[in-house]
Structure 1
Amino acid sequence: MNWDVLAQDVINGYELTDEEALAILKSPNEEILQLLSGAYQIRKHYYGNKVKLNMIINTKSGNCSENCGYCAQSRDSTAPIEKYRMLDKDSIVRGAEKAHQLNAGTYCIVASGRGPANWELERVIEAVEEIKGKYDLKICACLGILKPGQAERLKAAGVSRYNHNINTSENHHDAITTSHTYQDRVRTVNEAKQAGLSPCSGVIVGMKETKQDVVQMAKALRNLEADSIPVNFLHAIDGTALEGTHELNPIYCLKVLALFRFINPTKEIRVSGGREVNLKSLQPLGLYAANSIFIGDYLTTLGQEDTKDHQMLRDLGFEADVVYEEGAGTLKALLEEGVRADL
């Protein structure tokens, strides 16, 4: 397969067949640089050498009623994680201050659980309203399955994006969780879209799925028209149902990122949870296909030091893509830290 030619076809509007998509995942390891060259052509066409930076805050940890096999916060997990109820407003706002200091363009407010209680939603809304008055941050909320009217309230408060991952393929879903359906997740993404929120939905690779499952995940997200696609690689945690699962290697992870770029050429592809433990020393190569990363820690696992993330971008010759929204943050402060911002 000539990956550069296929990349140009994709830029011109071509959609990969299942066979071509599978060929990416099955490609010989010695072709990885050629494959990434093709993925980079697509990425550069739409995003140049800009990298979007995101920071996550776990505003409510553990005690989740769902039985997701990958999650340390699940009701069935025995992982020794910190558990707490919804953080107070000031703590959520302080997290936004840190995101601003780290030059993150998007602040992701995440809470465990099937969906937010009314009082939890109110707290998030109060925090978002204060954050939007102080910082030039895009706010993404990830609060689970929403009740009628909740998406509209988040939008009115200043939330720009809503995340609800499909996590895996429809065929593999019941092997990962049975406390909600695949269609519950799809419906939540669509409800967020209908409320005017930018849809964010992604996957976790490495949960004993087949390569065909991975292809179907990428295509399902294309059909959902997800604007932002977090690609997580399973970081198996002791005490979860997937404890001891180690199916991934760095080169396969790069093939997965290339696949998502070829199938979703115009979308934000984010290297997310598990990148440090799965991509290992090949982390920088992932950004030739992806154009977004999380900086800082994840929900219950540690991330790479933010200084190393910024150094990685500089070493690659890439730039932080700081997208400003209305607010009170200053461009001067960002420029003083050596980050180029394109308005």
Structure 2
Amino acid sequence: MELFNAGLDWYSLADKAIHGSKLSQKEGIAILEADDGELLPIMQAAFRVRHHFYGKKVKLNMIMNAKSGLCPEDCGYCSQSIVSTAPVSKYSMLDKESLLAGAREAISRKAGTYCIVASGKGPTDRELDQVIEAVQEITSTLPLKICACLGILKEDQARRLAEAGVHRYNHNLNTSKSNYPSITTTHTYDQRIETVKIAQSHGMSPCSGVIIGMGETNEEIVDMAYALRELDADSIPVNFLNPIPGTPLEGAKRVSPIRALKVLALFRFICPSKEIRVAGGRELNLRSLQPLSLYAANSIFVGDYLTTEGQEVTADHQMIEDLGFEIEICALSAV
């Protein structure tokens, strides 16, 4: 690969990242375009950064699909959107007992963060009340961090969630600003940026990530990483498109395992101190190379995703153990 042969050294990029220097776009693209024979040196360099900030600890997260389908948005990747014909469950916001049961399941899976996710453009007052009631009981009885993902937020909604004990708010950018109109038209990229900032301004840890495999260029992938660095997102879920039949992107080509690993390394280099999570599509796209992902990432989801199945939880626990890594136990104490 020309840039590598010209003297680009992955270990130098790792040192640059550790010391807080921003990689250039040329350097970022070089990671994505590197010869596949450079994969292991790239992953070793990414691990150098990951180990500096996180050692060998792995954070576990669990998703609860708290409201499914019934969404007026036209996101091309989503089986719950109004333009999808995929056969998914459709139900309104789960009651408090169901959300509490999910929290207890998260504990049994050794997850430190419980993610309450709802379809829709944004929460109604009634839906917000239901989530808040559940969050207050969960945080008073269980050692879990709570992440909410309820769509576009208003200032008062963000304030109420933070006061109820929500630790983190997720609102993914999903793709680059330039690619956004080809993926979604019912809301804008800037609205997503604004929601992340609103959540952050009310004291919730900002969580925002991407979906790789939606027609974006290498330059756009680097731009996504830059945007999340600029937002100062604490947690960055890196999803790989699962092209679900019945969605507009059903015919998209899967991301290859090697490309997926290069993307994870890129995000580690550009956002070195942040929680990089291998998220949706991990099992489908990384396949047998899943263990290598944790040399760049330090976090995974355990169990199923919103409408697709994940890997068996015991297999994830075994993968972490086999790597010589350690599950990070939530430091919160139940009240």
Secondary structure of 1:308's partner? Answer: helix
Correspondences of 1:227-242 after superposition (within 5 Å)? 227-242=234-249
Aligned to 1:303: 310
C-alpha contact (below 8 Å) 1:166/1:182 kept by paired residues: yes
Matched, 1:10 2:17: yes
Distance 1:204 1:18 in 2: 19
Distance 1:133 1:148 in 2: 25
Distance 2:18 2:147 in 1: 28
Aligned residues: 328
Return the match for 2:161 from 129, 141, 154: 154
Distance 1:182 1:216 in 2: 13
Correspondences of 1:116-127 after superposition (within 5 Å)? 116-127=123-134
TM-score norm. by structure 1 comes to 0.95
Matched, 1:79 2:76: no
Letter in 2 for 1:99: A
Secondary structure of 1:230's partner? Answer: strand
C-alpha contact (below 8 Å) 1:54/1:107 kept by paired residues: yes
Return the match for 1:67 from 74, 77, 93: 74
C-alpha contact (below 8 Å) 1:11/1:265 kept by paired residues: yes
Unaligned ranges ≥5, structure 2: 1-7
Deviation of 1:326 (Å): 3.7
Deviation of 1:214 (Å): 0.5
Deviation of 1:247 (Å): 4.1
Structure 1 residue ranges (4+ consecutive) displaced by more than 4 angstroms after TM superposition: none
Return the match for 2:268 from 261, 266, 270: 261
Letter in 2 for 1:194: S
Q: Which moved more, 1:46-55 or 1:3-12?
A: 3-12
Identity of aligned residues (%): 60
Return the match for 2:31 from 9, 24, 34: 24
C-alpha contact (below 8 Å) 1:140/1:162 kept by paired residues: yes
Matched, 1:324 2:331: yes
C-alpha contact (below 8 Å) 1:138/1:324 kept by paired residues: no
Deviation of 1:323 (Å): 2.4
Distance 1:153 1:123 in 2: 12
Deviations 1:291-342 (A, max 9, x none): 00000000000000000000000000000011222415xxxxxxxxxxxxxx
Aligned to 2:5: none
TM-score norm. by structure 2 comes to 0.97
C-alpha contact (below 8 Å) 2:243/2:254 kept by paired residues: no
Deviation of 1:102 (Å): 1.0
Correspondences of 1:264-275 after superposition (within 5 Å)? 264-275=271-282
Distance 2:55 2:28 in 1: 24
Deviation of 1:13 (Å): 2.1
Matched, 1:115 2:122: yes
Letter in 1 for 2:260: C
C-alpha contact (below 8 Å) 1:145/1:184 kept by paired residues: yes
Matched, 1:104 2:111: yes
C-alpha contact (below 8 Å) 2:113/2:147 kept by paired residues: yes
RMSD: 0.7
